[in-house]
Amino acid sequence: MLSGEDSRRGEVFLDIDNADGKRFGLVAFHVCPNPKCRKFTMYASLAGATDLVETTGGHTYRSKDYRPKLPSKQSWRLVPWSSARVFPEFIPQQIRSDYTESCAIRDLSPKASATLARRCLQGMIRDFWKIKEDRLAAAIKALETRVDSTTWKAIDAVRKVGNIGAHMEKDVNLVVDVEPAEAQKLLTLIEMLLDEWYVARQERGERAEAVIAIAEEKAQSRKRKSHGSRANASAEMPVEGAASDGAADNT
């Protein structure tokens, strides 16, 4: 949880006469409280402003009842420029690229973000499940028996929402929007599938290889010890003819 020690913010007011009216700007820095991270995030917000008062000596102050017009608020994440997670390189580059780009434009163009999430999903189904259907709807239908029903319905929902940006409505005057929060939910599902499909498979493989390596090392150790035991036994056995030679010397 962020504390005051991990955050800094600054405000600026636009009270100069202009065509768009008064504005309130906010810049905020947040530093990750995790000692292993400590990276900062920077946000900027802009809102319509009211009740800018008391200009004194070139400085504008706000009254205690000042409030920005929150419905007109716009916000941007400046650093890092994208909220995308960094996934391992064993996931194909094109899939990671589509996912990262979808995250980057989530707020700027949610419909385009949803379309890229749809494309990312199609690439994952083709690569991970080896389903080569040309149409995503057919590929998802072929996937139905391979995943649980809830996951399958969510995957098909990504296709449907992504279609809003990918295909024009028959009635060009019909506008169906996708909100940034909705686009983020699609991306959250993509992240879940990347974890459950690619990352989990890699981790299962690594755990299995570790167990196999233990068994191979034990087998090699057994061979070394068995060879050593035979060598010691051979060294302790009398050489044939040595005993009779000794007896002859004593006569």
In this prediction, residue 237 has a pLDDT band, given cuts at 50, 70 and 90, of low
Least confident of 55-59, 187-191, 202-206: 55-59
Choice between 11 and 93, residue whose per-residue pLDDT is larger = 93
* Distance in angstroms (rounded) separating the CA atoms of residues 10 and 200: 43
Percent of the chain surpassing pLDDT 90 = 53
Residue-wise pLDDT for 48-70, tens only, equals 776 544 455 555 555 545 555 54
Contact 37, 54 (CB under 8 A): no
**Per residue, what are the HEC states of the chain?**
CCCHHHEEEEEEEECCCCCCCCEEEEEEEEECCCCCCCCEEEEEEEEEECCEEEEECCEEEECCCCCEEEEEEEEEEEECCCCCCCCCCCCCHHHHHHHHHHHHCCCCCHHHHHHHHHHHHHHHHHHHCCCCCCCHHHHHHHHCCCCCHHHHHHHHHHHHHHHHHHCCCCCCCCCCCCCHHHHHHHHHHHHHHHHHHHHHHHHHHHHHHHHHHHHHHHHHHHHHHHHHHHHHHHHHCCCCCHHHHHHHHHC
pTM value? 0.68
For range 184-211, the mean pLDDT: 97
Q: In the chain, where are the structural domains located? A: 1-81, 83-218
Strand order, beta sheet including 23-31: 7-14, 23-31, 40-49, 68-79
Query: Quick one: average pLDDT of 30-56?
Result: 79
pLDDT value of position 95: 98
**C-alpha torsion angle, residues 142, 146, 152, 156 (rounded to 10):** -20
pLDDT above 80 (res 37) = yes
